[in-house]
Amino acid sequence: MPMNPDLEKERQGGTFDVEQLTHILDGGRDKTLKRHFLEQEVLKDPVFRGPDTRFLSREELFGELLRKHVAVIKKTQELSIDDINEASTIYSAAMNNNVGPLTLHSVAFVAPLDLMADDEQKKKWLIPAKKYEIIGCYAQTELGHGSFIRGLETRADYDVNTQQFVLNTPTETAIKWWVGGCVAVGDIGPKFGFGGVDNGYLCLNNVRIPRDNLLAKTGKVLEDGTYVKPENPKVVYGSMLGIRAALPKVGAYNLSKAVTIAIRYSCVRHQSEIKPGCGEPQVLDYQTQQHKLFPLLATAYAFHTVGVWMLDFHSTVMNEINEGHYHRLAEDHVLAAGLKAVINWKTHEGIEICRFSCGGHGYSLASSLPVIYVNHVANSTAEGETVILLLQTAVYLMKCVIDLEQGTPLDPSVAYLDQSFSKSEQWCSDVDMHSLLKAIQFRSKKFTEYVSSFVKKELMATGNQQLAFNKHKVILVECAKAHTEAVIMNAFVTKVDEILQSNPSVGKVLSLLCQIYGVTEILAHSGDYIQYEYLRKIDLDNIQDQLFKLYTYIRPEAVLLVDAFDFHDEVLKSILGRYDGQVYENMFKWAKASPFNKQDQGTFRKYIQQLKQAKL
């Protein structure tokens, strides 16, 4: 199919090599080539062909995705893939923006076995689980409790005579609920999204399991019922840590898809007039459309950068823990908590903005933006609700303030809290990314001190930490967000500095995106910078001008920057986001193919007939 002339023209501009940026995003040319190979292994294999999942009922969707997910597993085994990124490539190429039915087995059942099973148990369960000879799920949440783990009611009473645990969900609120991939007892019913996953309920009534079913690497029950505590009790939370550490990159992936669709479509879509008689411009030429999408384009790159960094950090900490060193578990937990919370929340807001920016066609499943949205938005609740996780980060920051007062060294990711920040020089309209980073770190430091002063005063008054925290939860959450933004911006600036050395032309365009991210973040909290007397009104006016100027620099690069995400059309599955930009013809073809247009609407005639007969 010929290339849409608008997109063809967009691809003749640009100042950097798209392929080199794709290689950087993938982690090197070899990784790009391997990703292409794996995608083709799926896309050329007829077993992965099937009905357009956007037209399917919940039951049909589950069946079709289960069929495909089993094919994904076979393909992954056939190709001897064990790298999680490569396995995810095969998975994403097949799932058409859905979450597959066996996802929880991979991300929430295998991981705890890896982390908390002793060698014997690994042989017994981890090895067959990795081969899908046993399929598992993660049944923690109950009808009455999800966030408050210590409030869970399920019982495991030890029967010393039989060396068994007797499992019970003693109350209705104790019923296990939301259990992804729970194939025994029942499905909890239709949901907002996640149609490919059978989130189940599980009632336990005197279910007996052997003593050695308790994962024993981090704590065990002896034959006489004595409980031997794990060296570090917090490691039992580790199974939630793994998914949280991975979700920032999942957020980046989903936002990159949405931004690709919206920016390509905004170049194809012509609407209204700027100069009368000069034809309808591309909607991406409107400043308001750029103001919707360019900060999100910058955010997608920022989130990808920090998502890769978080996964590396987490993997290092897990290796340390496997060797018995727990000193970085707390930092890993609060980084994963803050990044998972902020990134997934801003991603679902961003996907919605992308959908709105495509007008009516964004609301059609032909765009796939609604599919990406309803499947992504779960990640702001699942694996730790947003506020719950931000409070974890906030409590850690309050401890950092005490550590600072006591001269205890801080973890590297919060070291900036110990830095002194002088009020900025007057800003013009070309503030560099390092100055923007300093400002964002300054705000986080000041906010942490400000919140800590309130919590301390409350603690003095009540002597109760939980009460003190509860009274200031709103500003504690804001404090955690401010810190997390400092972590994101630091990762982005660090990566762009590195790329400026290795590939100056790519680095330059990414530094523009980094400035857009930083300026947008500062303008979103401009009142704080005035209140803390770090910036003046003139500074804020200047960086507002800078933002609009940056949009003009990014405009000719925008399509190339989303092309660099390198989504194959069959992976993106969006008519608005097609690489060739042939939207209208394919929208019409897709609509005509809808089963709704094929069914004989006998019901229509039957009921309208009744109206006519009713002699209204």
Ligand X SMILES: CCCCCCCC/C=C\CCCCC/C=C/C(=O)SCCNC(=O)CCNC(=O)[C@H](O)C(C)(C)COP(=O)(O)OP(=O)(O)OC[C@H]1O[C@@H](n2cnc3c(N)ncnc32)[C@H](O)[C@@H]1OP(=O)(O)O
Ligand Y SMILES: Cc1cc2nc3c(=O)[nH]c(=O)nc-3n(C[C@H](O)[C@H](O)[C@H](O)COP(=O)(O)OP(=O)(O)OC[C@H]3O[C@@H](n4cnc5c(N)ncnc54)[C@H](O)[C@@H]3O)c2cc1C
| Residues classed as catalytic | 383
φ/ψ (deg, to 5) at 176? -65, 135
Site for ligand X in 102-131 (CB under 6 A): 103-104, 106-108
Q: Which stretch binds ligand Y (CB under 6 A): 109-117, 132-140, 482-490, 561-569?
A: 132-140
The amino acid sitting at 325 is: H
Which runs of E-coded beta strand occur in 192-307?
A: 200-202, 205-210, 220-221, 227-228
Q: Return d(Cα 121, Cα 556) in angstroms, integer.
A: 57
Out of 104, 247, 255, 284, name the contact with ligand Y by CB under 6 A: 104
Please check whether residue 293 is in contact with residue 562, taking contact to mean a CB–CB distance below 8 angstroms. no
Q: Return d(Cα 415, Cα 410) in angstroms, integer.
A: 6
SS3 457: helix
Out of 307, 384, 507, 518, name the contact with ligand X by CB under 6 A: 384
What is the residue-wise DSSP string for 170-193? Answer: -SGGGSEEEETT--SSEE----SS
| Residue 147 sits in the site that holds ligand X (CB under 6 A) | yes
Site for ligand X in 37-96 (CB under 6 A): 87-88, 91
DSSP H/E element including 437: helix 433-462
Choose the contact partner of 387 out of ligand X, ligand Y, none; CB within 5 to 8 A by kind. Answer: ligand Y
Q: Return d(Cα 482, Cα 475) in angstroms, integer.
A: 10
| Residue 429 sits in the site that holds ligand Y (CB under 6 A) | no
Choose the contact partner of 199 out of ligand X, ligand Y, none; CB within 5 to 8 A by kind. Answer: ligand Y
Is residue 180 annotated as involved in ligand binding?
Answer: yes
| Residue 111 sits in the site that holds ligand Y (CB under 6 A) | no
Choose the contact partner of 87 out of ligand Y, ligand X, none; CB within 5 to 8 A by kind. Answer: ligand X
Q: Which stretch binds ligand Y (CB under 6 A): 16-24, 133-141, 437-445, 582-590?
A: 133-141
Is residue 195 annotated as involved in ligand binding?
Answer: no
Structure tokens at 55: 């037209």
Instruction: For tokens 């906010």, name the residue.
Output: 447
DSSP H/E element including 338: helix 329-356
Q: Which stretch binds ligand X (CB under 6 A): 137-145, 262-270, 316-324, 522-530?
A: 137-145
| Residue 180 sits in the site that holds ligand X (CB under 6 A) | yes
Out of 148, 277, 278, 592, name the contact with ligand X by CB under 6 A: 148
| Residue 466 sits in the site that holds ligand X (CB under 6 A) | no
Closest distance between ligand X and the C-beta of residue 283, in Å? 31
Nearest to 146 by CA among 106, 116, 173: 173
| Residue 199 sits in the site that holds ligand X (CB under 6 A) | no
Burial of residue 417 (number of CB atoms within 10 Å: 0-12, 13-18, 19+): buried
Alpha helices in 503-535 (DSSP H): 504-524, 526-531
| Residue 180 sits in the site that holds ligand Y (CB under 6 A) | yes
Choose the contact partner of 88 out of ligand Y, ligand X, none; CB within 5 to 8 A by kind. Answer: ligand X
| Residue 138 sits in the site that holds ligand X (CB under 6 A) | yes
17: which residues sit within 8 A by CB, 6+ positions away?
503, 505, 506
Nearest to 205 by CA among 153, 165, 168: 168
Please check whether residue 409 is in contact with residue 495, taking contact to mean a CB–CB distance below 8 angstroms. no
DSSP H/E element including 64: helix 58-78
Question: Taking CB under 6 A as the rule, which mask of x and - marks residues 288-327 in contact with ligand X?
Answer: ----------------------------------------
Looking at the Cβ atoms of 138 and 427, the one nearer to ligand Y is 138
| Residue 382 sits in the site that holds ligand Y (CB under 6 A) | yes
Question: Taking CB under 6 A as the rule, which mask of x and - marks residues 419-458 in contact with ligand X?
Answer: ----------------------------------------
Out of 32, 141, 367, 542, name the contact with ligand X by CB under 6 A: 141
| Residue 342 sits in the site that holds ligand Y (CB under 6 A) | no
Question: Taking CB under 6 A as the rule, which mask of x and - marks residues 385-404 in contact with ligand X?
Answer: ---x---x------------
Total residues interacting with ligand X, rule: CB under 6 A:
33
Q: Return d(Cα 412, Cα 416) in angstroms, integer.
A: 8
Please check whether residue 248 is in contact with residue 335, taking contact to mean a CB–CB distance below 8 angstroms. no
Nearest to 258 by CA among 308, 304, 305, 293: 293
| Residue 194 sits in the site that holds ligand Y (CB under 6 A) | yes
| Residue 329 sits in the site that holds ligand X (CB under 6 A) | yes
| Residue 100 sits in the site that holds ligand Y (CB under 6 A) | no
Question: Taking CB under 6 A as the rule, which mask of x and - marks residues 469-498 in contact with ligand Y?
Answer: ----x-------------------------
φ/ψ (deg, to 5) at 421? -120, 120
Nearest to 474 by CA among 501, 441, 446, 447: 447
Choose the contact partner of 194 out of ligand Y, ligand X, none; CB within 5 to 8 A by kind. Answer: ligand Y
| Residue 107 sits in the site that holds ligand Y (CB under 6 A) | no
* CB atoms inside a 10 Å sphere around CB 41: 18
384 in the Ramachandran plot: left (φ > 0), alpha (ψ -120 to 50) or beta?
Answer: left
Out of 22, 76, 97, 141, name the contact with ligand Y by CB under 6 A: 141
Q: Return d(Cα 106, Cα 128) in angstroms, integer.
A: 12
Please check whether residue 163 is in contact with residue 227, taking contact to mean a CB–CB distance below 8 angstroms. no
| Residue 147 sits in the site that holds ligand Y (CB under 6 A) | yes
| Residue 338 sits in the site that holds ligand X (CB under 6 A) | no
Looking at the Cβ atoms of 94 and 506, the one nearer to ligand X is 94
| Residue 241 sits in the site that holds ligand Y (CB under 6 A) | no
Nearest to 397 by CA among 457, 333, 461, 321: 333
Total residues interacting with ligand Y, rule: CB under 6 A:
22
Q: Which residues bind ligand Y (CB under 6 A)?
A: 104, 108, 138-141, 145-147, 178-180, 194, 199, 378, 381-382, 384-385, 387-388, 473
Which amino acids are annotated as binding site for FAD, given as ranges? 141, 180
Q: Which residues bind ligand X (CB under 6 A)?
A: 87-88, 91, 99, 103-104, 106-108, 138, 140-141, 146-150, 180, 234, 237, 240-241, 243, 250, 329-330, 333, 379, 382-384, 388, 392
Which amino acids are annotated as binding site, given as ranges? 141, 180
